[in-house]
Chains A and B, each alone.
Chain A
């Protein structure tokens, strides 16, 4: 959790105008729709920037829902991942920050993948996405493909941080910048 605080400048007040949305809890379809509606309302941006934020938001929210090691059972009996989603606004950009515990088994491929993502240019990244998609050992709904899509959409490097919780789990946090 400290890692999220660091990404948002620790100690800044919550009522600061910079934090536009902050949510922690189970991430199911209803919450995703609700937060997306709110993003739509607060976003007085160009259509292109709004589209980018939406795309990134959906990818990251879906990753929490599927891969968070912290699972919560909802009324309908469905188990969904729980995590944190924050949208921060600065003068030049929006920053989407997410955080959730993740099983170390799920984490290793993500780490390897993110190293690659941040070292590639836009065209190389597109090529890499195609390669990962073709790779039969990678599941079609793998978080890796989602992260490549996020990097491609934002046009900025992914700021990933991992803090071990115990032998099996780590806290995974990610910040993605979208230029206004």
Chain B
């Protein structure tokens, strides 16, 4: 991932959609619909981006360290998503603050996901599904699913906020062809 500031990424010329705020069910529904209907003319491609969005956005909602109470009284994780448009691909970026202790776990998961081929990823997903809910934490199935759906490795990085918190960014490339 290039070291361009996240803010510039968010408002840049090739940004089709971006948001920072609480990822509650309404965000998933409104933005999900807009992604599915207005990103491109290619419905199949929009569907792929939609699936990646849902998988990763749910992780923000559940696991972001920063929580915000919405007007409906729903407690949702706060994060950021960005969809960028390039010549031959879309780039979906998602970020949220995490507990610094989760960085090593997430790093390991992303690195494992990137090391697997498709069959390996499917097997890994099955393995994760067998875990008791309490151990699933940090959104690993969503990450596997995003890699499977996009057919590309995950880009990821961690930015230190302070001794206890880091900002976790994961990005997925979605090819146009």
Residues of A within 8 A of B (CB): 1, 4-5, 8, 10-15, 19, 21-26, 30-31, 34-35, 37-38, 40-42, 72-75, 84, 86, 99
Residues of B within 8 A of A5 (CB): 7-8, 11
Main secondary structure of the interface of B (DSSP, over half): mixed
Instruction: Identify which of A34, A41, A75, A84 contacts B69 (C-beta below 8 A).
Output: A41
Contact in complex: A41, B70 (CB < 8 Å): yes
19 contacts between A and B (CB under 8 A): A8-B7, A11-B5, A11-B7, A13-B5, A14-B6, A14-B95, A19-B20, A22-B19, A22-B20, A23-B21, A24-B17, A25-B19, A31-B30, A34-B27, A41-B71, A73-B38, A74-B34, A74-B38, A75-B38
Contact in complex: A38, B70 (CB < 8 Å): yes
Q: Does B54 interact with chain A (Cβ within 8 Å)?
A: no
Contact in complex: A40, B167 (CB < 8 Å): no
Residues of B within 8 A of A4 (CB): 11
CB distance from B38 to the nearest CB of A (A): 5
Instruction: Identify which of B10, B27, B37 contacts A14 (C-beta below 8 A).
Output: B10
Contact in complex: A41, B68 (CB < 8 Å): yes
Total number of B residues with any Cβ neighbor in A under 8 Å: 35
Main secondary structure of the interface of A (DSSP, over half): mixed
Residues of B within 8 A of A (CB): 5-8, 10-13, 15-22, 26-27, 30-31, 33-34, 36-38, 68-71, 80, 95, 97, 159, 161, 167
Please, which residue of chain B has its CB at the minimum distance from the CB of A21?
B21
Contact in complex: B38, A72 (CB < 8 Å): yes
Contact in complex: B21, A38 (CB < 8 Å): yes
12 additional contacts, CB 8 Å, given A5-B11, A42-B68?
A14-B95, A22-B21, A23-B19, A23-B21, A24-B17, A24-B18, A31-B30, A31-B34, A38-B22, A40-B71, A74-B37, A75-B38
